[in-house]
Amino acid sequence: MNNKNSLQILGKNFSLQPNALIVKGKPTEAAYEEAFKLLSRIETAQGWWWGDLANAREKSYGSLKVLAEKYGKRMGSIAECQRVSKAYEVSMRIESLSFNHHQIAAALPDRMTWLRRAEKEGWTTAELAKQIRLAGILPPHFESFEPEIVKADCLAWIPKQDICDLLLTDPPYSTEISDIEAFAASWLPPALKKVKPTGRAYVFIGAYPIEIEAYLKINTNTMTLANVLVWAYQNTLGPSSDLDYNLNWQAVLYYRGPEAPKLDCPILIEQFSVQNVNAPDGRSGVRYSAWQKPDDLAERFIRHSTKPGDLVLDPF
Ligand SMILES: C[S@@+](CC[C@H](N)C(=O)[O-])C[C@H]1O[C@@H](n2cnc3c(N)ncnc32)[C@H](O)[C@@H]1O
């Protein structure tokens, strides 16, 4: 090892450095294959590493949230790794299966039986999820962990969707739509019809009176508009005005189905109609657009109103 920070764990021909993989000499084809296999293992091991790190720190110093914010990591992903790590003592983890295999079965009481079957049959993660689904234990969309993203007009897309547990969405604002009243009336009722009676919906609608008025007029069928939540932020401002007040909040319409269970929400920390969360401003994480919503807020709403395996729809 000539560099103090380099790792020689992929064999003698490869050296891993913090910002590069250096190839030494002329590795054989077999050496490349071995390095590929080892790299894949490291990639899958990362889930365990993040989960174990967060669980261990939590015992002494509390959540990793502050560090995640400081270094631009998504707390949602780390929290998911924590959930999986907690579900399996180190001695229970099956080395020949990936972290994702363990993740798929993590919530099941007989998770080890499923994992042993996956190991014996050589199931991929998709096959494991399919078998669990066929056994009728989890809902149909459980097999897809990556969100499915489709480019389509919402009015064409919504009718084709399955009934969901949560509708969480951020439609275009009145500044982009000529007739916001007609637009709101065209998409919201069919979208709410896609939510199960046990489900919930959160719709970000900005803070302009014209928009709030348009959405409040809509007949929401069996879903109850239970709160107009406020997302407030102190770290950035929209366009400023000499005549009026500058906006540092947005309304989030919160609908509840007639059979919705209790919110899964820490009462004294998060169960408030005003949610104070910094707006993405590029200092931590990536800022893709001016009115981007914070991942932390979306994660909170998803955590409050779904359980593992639930289906979330977002038409925008
Ligand atoms: C407020 S943005 C939300 C962006 C998105 N959720 C994100 O995380 O970046 C609204 C989005 O709706 C899209 N949009 C506008 N009209 C639409 C329509 N009729 N059907 C589907 N999407 C539409 C816009 O292109 C825009 O990307």
CB contact at 8 A, 15 and 8:
yes
Query: Which residue intervals of 122-160 are DSSP H helices?
Result: 125-134, 154-157
Could you please state the CATH topology (level 3) that the domain comprising 154-313 is classified under: Rossmann fold (3.40.50)
Q: Cβ(154) to ligand 1 under 6 A?
A: yes
DSSP character for 172?
P
Q: Which residue do the tokens 């000539």 mark? A: 2
Task: Please identify, by atom number, the ligand 1 atom nearest to the C-alpha of residue 154.
Answer: 20
Q: Whose CA is nearest to atom 1 of ligand 1?
A: 172
Terminal Cα distance for the chain, rounded: 50
Please tell me the pTM assigned to this model: 0.61
Q: Is residue 34 scored above 70 in pLDDT?
A: yes
CA 291 to chain centre: 18
Q: Cβ(182) to ligand 1 under 6 A?
A: no
Measured CA distances, 159 to 188, 189, 239, 313 (Å): 12, 11, 36, 12
Give the pLDDT score at 141.
43
Q: Enumerate the domain spans of the chain.
A: 1-68, 88-146, 154-313
Q: How far is the CA of 68 from the centre of ligand 1 (A)?
A: 28
Q: What is the pLDDT of residues 270-292, one digit of tens each?
A: 899 999 998 887 665 566 777 78
Q: Cβ(249) to ligand 1 under 6 A?
A: no
Alpha carbons within 13 A on the beta-carbon side of 164: 25
What SS3 class is residue 73? coil
Q: What is the pLDDT of residues 103-143, one digit of tens each?
A: 889 988 899 999 999 999 999 887 887 788 778 775 444 44
Q: What is the pLDDT of residues 207-222, one digit of tens each?
A: 999 999 999 999 998 8
Q: How far is the CA of 169 from the centre of ligand 1 (A)?
A: 9
Instruction: Read off the amino acid at residue 103.
Output: Q
CB contact at 8 A, 168 and 297:
no
Q: Whose CA is nearest to atom 27 of ligand 1?
A: 316
